[in-house]
Structure 1
Amino acid sequence: MEFSLSAEQKERCARTRKAARNISPETTGGELDGHIRKRLAELGLLGAAVPPEYGGAGLGALDTALLYEAASDGGADTGLLFAAAAHLFACVTPVVEFARPETRRALLPGLCSGALLAGNAMTEPEAGSDTSRLATTATRVDGGHLLDGVKSFVSNGPDADLYVTYATTDPDGGYFGTTAFAVDRDAPGLVPGRAMEKSGLAGCRAGEVRFTRCFVPDERVLGAPGQGQVVFQASMRWERSCLFALYLGQQERLIRRCVEHARRRTRSGTRLADLPQVADRLAEMRLRLESGRLLLYRACAEIDAGRDPDLWAAMAKLAVSEASVTTALDAGRIFGGRAFLTEYGIEEEVRDALPAITFSGTSDIQRRLIAREMGL
């Protein structure tokens, strides 16, 4: 096995890490405005895995993950990176893989350049990641479907120009009872809600989206009618394998800060770095990071090789998300009272890490997926 990166990969990561510094939503009032979109697009984060003929970089899963990891390690705002990742993995990749050729040509260049921002409208007030139990319906009419229902926690919802959404088309269809759609923000009957007040990932605004007899033409169906589960699971393979690379970068950055703090800070004349309990905690932080990294890279390699990545993606998502929360809390222990001061940013890192164990399927769901892949 070859674990080292190529010269090209190292150069791309170094360039991204440097360019990612100071990418922050602070000057935008919280909105993902044109300036921030342009910066994210320049880094390749909005279209990394899109074929070049549509304006993307044509990268595979591993190189895309490395890009997100480097941007996070370089200091880009975690919420903004999550917004870009939700756009790319939950929305753009389904368009690449399942949209009609004319729809790809119409949408993908703008999605890659940042002219269009996408939001993933999947979760409902009474349903999470289970596309077989959606209350939102799509009724067949001449030339398309009429959507009715409410989606909640839509990442990029208040700012998106396009929504990838899922609705029930056959209540008795089971696995083949839902359909995926790409819906324009200005479609009659679509009303985005205002941004929710969140405690973490503030750079990614989320909100409710309501559909009331919202007409979606046939050319905006992703895949075939009834393939909503297929489309969603394909997007989750990318998301669980690549999105969490930004949490690898966050952990790398946090560990580096903790090591620097432990070397400088003294307690009763002794450096924190010389205290066994502090050194042991840092060793555990490094172990969690590298273990998750190997799993995530393996999941990406399975996608790039055209093999089924589901087991590796579930293990990677579980390991990296749980590690990000534990490492952020451990950073708080190492910084002590300073962790409660906003100027140090540790409390923000905890708030940004905590959602990772919930979105893209909770940790309990990942354990169930792993058990299923084991044949249980």
Structure 2
Amino acid sequence: MDFDLSSAQRDRCDRVRTAVAEHLATRAVTTDPDLVRLAWQAAASIGLTGLCLPVEHGGAGLGALDTALSLEAFGRACPDTGLAFGIAAHLLSCGVPVAEFGASGTAGELLAGMAKGGLIAGNAMTEDEAGSDIGQIRTTAVRSGGDYVLRGEKSFVSNAPIADVYVTYAITDPDAGFLGVSAFAVPRDTGGIVVGPPLSKMGLHGCLAARVRFDDCVVPERFRLGAEGSGGMVFQRSMAWERSCLFAIYLGLAERQLQACVEHATARRQFGRKLAGFQAVSHRIARMRQRLESARLLLYRACWLLDADRDDAGAIAMAKTAVSEAALANSLDAVQLFGASGYLVGPGIEQQLRDCVPATIFSGTTEIQLEILAREAGL
């Protein structure tokens, strides 16, 4: 085993951190759609919107591990974790399915814009009664000649208010269960798409989200991803990439957070000595580091397996669980270490906590990941 990154990987990460620090780090977190789009344009200018998209369509063509490394560098340098999350969802939940399952002409039409950031993608899978269980969705797609008529509502669509295309899932054969679901990439200018107002969220404010309703939305067959009935497989593939690579942004956040805690503990004095001199403080920081490094190894391994075409659901589930729970636990520790200042809006610590809370929920809750691991153990 070789745990060293190559010089090319280290150089790429350095370039991403430097560019993000220059173009994005000073931008205030905002929910203004126009300002969020400007942030996307800045991210696109340094190649972040096309990391894993095909080179022939303007992307960088990176594999899972290199994509994760770039997203980690993004999360390390950018305090707007919501923006990083939105771009990662655009790439992994939407870009990967379009690139791997889209018809050649359709994929080229969409991917060129997605790679350049001119087209923003939203992941429209979750419904009120269906999250990770794709077999329980209620949105339907009924064939009508060379088109499909979509009817249904998605309850939480990342990037929805500013999205130009939605990757969505609908039932095409009600009697086929998992094999009766199909995937589509639906341009926003398709008639019959109704986007609700931005949802108020606890964190990840830089990623706007909303409900999306399909009211007799007529979608040409060429926008179907994969064969009819293969939507479950398309969704599983997108989740493999998302659960592996997206959570790298939380590694970056945790690295930035850990550095801030070390600096605070060595600078602040109480009872005549530095906070770092108290074992209760130093050991808390040591545990934060252990969580971070353990989670990082699991995530890198999951991405390495994905690049080797060994789509290991257990490895991915362990990585997703480890990173999300480490991010949340470390953020709680950071608030405790900073005390009152960590609780106040402004220094960024409380914002990090709010951004980390949903990490154990989206892309399949921790409980879902544990179910995957339990099944693999024969339980």
TM category (shorter chain) comes to over 0.9
Is residue 217 of structure 1 aligned with residue 207 of structure 2?
A: no
Unaligned runs of 5+ in 2: none
Equivalent runs, 1:164-313 vs 2, <5 Å: 164-313=167-316
**Matching residue of 2:2:** 2
**Matching residue of 2:96:** 93
Deviation of 1:165 after TM superposition, in Å, equals 0.3
3-state SS of the aligned residue for 1:147?
A: strand
- Structure-1 separation of matches of 2:367 and 2:37: 38
**Matching residue of 1:147:** 150
Give the aligned CA root-mean-square deviation in angstroms.
1.3
* 1:37-93 Cα distance to aligned partner (Å, 9 max, x none): 222123322111112101100111101000010111113410000000110000010
Q: Which amino acid aligns with 1:80?
A: L
- Structure-2 separation of matches of 1:143 and 1:365: 37
**Matching residue of 1:354:** 357
**Matching residue of 1:57:** 60
Is residue 374 of structure 1 aligned with residue 353 of structure 2?
A: no
Q: Taking structure 1 as reference, are residues 25 and 165 closer, same or farther at Cα in structure 2, changes over 3 Å only?
A: farther
- Contact 1:79–1:203 (CA under 8 A) maintained in structure 2: yes
- Structure-1 separation of matches of 2:76 and 2:113: 27
- Contact 1:34–1:114 (CA under 8 A) maintained in structure 2: no
- Contact 2:124–2:167 (CA under 8 A) maintained in structure 1: yes
**Matching residue of 2:69:** 66
Q: Which amino acid aligns with 1:157?
A: A
- Structure-1 separation of matches of 2:163 and 2:187: 9
Deviation of 1:169 after TM superposition, in Å, equals 1.2
- Structure-1 separation of matches of 2:336 and 2:197: 36
- Contact 2:126–2:156 (CA under 8 A) maintained in structure 1: yes
- Structure-1 separation of matches of 2:47 and 2:292: 24
3-state SS of the aligned residue for 1:201?
A: coil
Deviation of 1:2 after TM superposition, in Å, equals 0.7
Q: Which amino acid aligns with 1:17?
A: R
**Matching residue of 1:330:** 333
- Structure-2 separation of matches of 1:127 and 1:9: 38
Equivalent runs, 1:127-166 vs 2, <5 Å: 127-166=130-169
- Contact 2:33–2:162 (CA under 8 A) maintained in structure 1: no
**Matching residue of 2:122:** 119
Q: Which amino acid aligns with 1:113?
A: K
Q: Taking structure 1 as reference, are residues 32 and 162 closer, same or farther at Cα in structure 2, changes over 3 Å only?
A: farther
- Structure-1 separation of matches of 2:366 and 2:276: 32
Q: Percent identity?
A: 53
Q: Which amino acid aligns with 1:179?
A: S
Unaligned runs of 5+ in 1: none
- Structure-1 separation of matches of 2:37 and 2:71: 20
- Structure-2 separation of matches of 1:300 and 1:354: 23
